[in-house]
Amino acid sequence: MKYKISNLTELQISALREIVNIGVGNAVTSLSKMISKEVKIEVPGLKVELIEKVPEIAGGADIIVSGVIMHLTGDVEGYIMMMLSEETTETICNIITNEENTDILDPLNQSLIEEVGHILAGSYVSSLSDFLGLNIKISPPMQTFDMLGAIIDHILIEMSTKAQHALLFDTLFMIEGNRMNGLFLTLFDPDSMDIILERIDRMI
């Protein structure tokens, strides 16, 4: 590892934040078009945390969410996770299926949410790829409805064999300003962080 993620410069941090901002911005624009509703995002947070603290930072290990996880491969390795609260999941399903009170546990609706996550992550990742000039592939999505900690712990376990800290990008988004909300989490492998930071250093 060339760079220490606990030791980034201000310039590197703002460049990273900007890249994520553009990526998530593109993703929510796709979401907004899909459901014909306004979707707002917060300025992405960028945190360097002990891996075992990640569930707390993401909102709590026991909050129940609809989670979609995708594995990133290619020039960089990592994970993208989209977490939606129960209400948000239902809202998105209601809008897309044009029904009321959809059952979010129905397999059809689960695959619908899975596909929404895939589309969002797809536009996010293609914007990252373009910006950084890296080839990043995205795996098929995996969706489940469960406790946040349980959904992501195997990813944190995998990360923890390679590093102690994780660089965590989290972006909250809101649909039409309601309390319904969602969260995007991105985690990169330590070696992949090196590659990304090298690209950034060349640019700035």
Return the residue of 9, 33, 43, 56 that touches other proteins, per CB under 8 A. Answer: 56
Q: Does 71 participate in binding other proteins (rule CB under 8 A)?
A: yes
Q: Does 57 participate in binding other proteins (rule CB under 8 A)?
A: no
Contact between residue 95 and residue 36 where contact means Cβ atoms under 8 Å apart: yes
Return the residue of 23, 55, 78, 182 that touches other proteins, per CB under 8 A. Answer: 55
- Kindly give the residue spans of alpha helices, DSSP state H, lying in 8-147: 10-35, 54-57, 86-97, 107-132
Residue ranges in 136-195 that form contacts with other proteins under rule CB under 8 A: 139, 142, 144-154, 156-158, 160-164
Buried b (16+ CB within 10 A) or exposed e, 38-54: ebebeebebeebebeeb
Looking at residue 7, the DSSP 8-state letter turns out to be G
CA distance 110 to 130: 30
For other proteins, the closer of residues 20 and 81 by Cβ is: 81
Which residues in this chain contact other proteins in the complex, by CB under 8 A? 52-53, 55-56, 60-62, 64, 69, 71, 105, 139, 142, 144-154, 156-158, 160-164
